[in-house]
Amino acid sequence: MFVTKHVVDITTAADGTASGYTPPVNGRILQIQYAKDDTTPYADTVDFSITAEESATPIWVQANVTASALVAPRQATHSTAGVASLYAAAGTAVNDYVCVAQERVKITLAQGGDTKTGRFIVWVG
């Protein structure tokens, strides 16, 4: 499998909001890392909304992130009838990769604090 890595550094505005983008990507979102800055980190109230830009497909949405994190986002799968696929006994959702085609990954921040910085690393394969 061929994997690409995209690094996105984002600085918030005075109101604590910001957006950043990868270049257009193709493939499965394998993982996303948030690296909290050592000197001017986002406030512990920072909210992430990471989506595929055009389709608005959710990739990672989390509120009040307080520390660096590495996630491997997955989405629920469905049958050809549009019904959620579940593991038989437990009724737990069957998850699979989030795929994107010729879309940028959009990283939107809220409540991050005035002029704070952070880094996002997105692996696509």
C-alpha to C-alpha distance for 6 and 23, rounded to whole angstroms? 8
User: What are 104's two structure tokens?
Assistant: 């940028």
pLDDT, average across residues 102-117: 98
pTM of the model: 0.93
Residues spanned by the domain of 43: 4-124
Q: How many domains does the chain have?
A: 1
25-70 residue pLDDT tens: 999 999 999 999 999 999 999 999 999 999 999 999 999 999 999 9
* CATH code of the domain containing 40: 2.60.120
C-alpha to C-alpha distance for 82 and 9, rounded to whole angstroms? 38
C-alpha to C-alpha distance for 117 and 95, rounded to whole angstroms? 32
